[in-house]
A = this chain, B = another copy of it.
Amino acid sequence: MNLSIRRSFASDNNAPVAPEIMQAILASNEGDAIGYGDDAWTARAVASFREEFGDNTDVYFTFNGTGANVTALSSLLRPWEAVLAPASAHLQTDECGALERFNGSKVFPIVTTDGKLRPADIEPYLHAGHGVHFPQPRAISISQATEFGGVYEIEELRELCEFADRHGLIVHVDGARLANAAAALGTTLRALTVDVGVDALSFGGTKNGSLLAEAVCFFDRGIHAGAAPFVQKQAMQLASKMRYIAAQFEALLTGQRWLHYARHANAMTARLHAHVKSISGITVTRPVRCNAIFATLDRAVIERVQREFFFYVFDETLPEVRWMTHWATTPHDVDEFANCLERAGA
């Protein structure tokens, strides 16, 4: 693909770095700093996390989302302990089996219509299998926002976490787009995690204006029994020049910039949604809550639009496309794209 891109609607990871984040990187580039996180930027970024998620929060920065998920789950699971995840989970479909390879843990993919897990989906695994022969379900991993652009309501999260707790299961949230979910629900990050009983979080910065910045948060420092620092290192996620990742997080968590970026991304998707609802031949296939729209439309139309804008066909068989917006998408970008869609369908 060598398309000269104006604005991509393919993924929020196609976005540039937000100016405040880039400024923070530049500002951190003064003089020497001790490696591996023993620096002032990291200390401040960790403090920001604790302000956001509570004092008992244990934070580890990673390079990418797969690194965050694998570090989080490998710190909590022994190799015979399994993860229950939606069949649509990034962990299941987009991490090339990194968890299986690194930690040996099995993932049980659970088919759901909307990419959300509920207690009834977990129930059958509670007493499945025969003793040591069956991989032991130990963690539930959910994505908030979901891979289909949906969100778990706070009450759904609480119910799932309570269910997990009653059955000795840990709850991990893949929050590559937690900011978008919080923006959509009008809540704090904490209300979606610590407050409802989530145990571990992969918190994404990269898709929300950062250069590359992901973090693993444990909300009870004892839960990983000292494993996390070693897992982070073995998982090749420990940066020597940590200050440059920390500075991004400090900037992102300051003055609710994370919320500002995410709200904007969501608003641009809402704007696009308003447009496409009225374009005949386009059927929006899933609830639009955050910064993604899923839709089916004619294959020929898709091809015509892809000549001008970059986006992915999510499911070739239908075909179903995914359109995403991000912190840098402008109303003008959206309108141009919508016009293009409209023209292409004419």
Contacts and interface: CB of A to CB of B under 8 A. Distances in A.
A169 B31 CA distance: 41
A238 B97 contact: no
Contacts of A130: 94, 312
Among A2, A35, A231, the most chain B Cβ lie within 10 Å of the Cβ of A35
Contact of A32 (B100, B134, B207, B328): B328
Nearest to A310: B34
Interface in A229-263: 229-241, 244
A30 B33 CA distance: 29
A185 to B, nearest CB: 25
Contacts of A82: 97
A18 to B, nearest CB: 9
Interface residues of A, number: 88
B240 A13 contact: yes
A300 interface: no
Contacts of A238: 64, 66, 132
B63 A98 contact: no
Contacts of A312: 130
A11 B3 CA distance: 41
A54 interface: no
Nearest to A68: B236
Interface stretch (A102-110, A139-147, A148-156, A274-282): A102-110
Interface in A59-80: 62-67, 70, 78-80
A229 B136 CA distance: 12
23 contacts: A3-B34, A5-B31, A6-B32, A7-B32, A8-B32, A11-B240, A22-B26, A25-B25, A34-B310, A64-B239, A65-B240, A66-B236, A78-B227, A79-B234, A80-B96, A80-B101, A93-B133, A95-B234, A96-B134, A96-B234, A97-B105, A130-B312, A236-B237
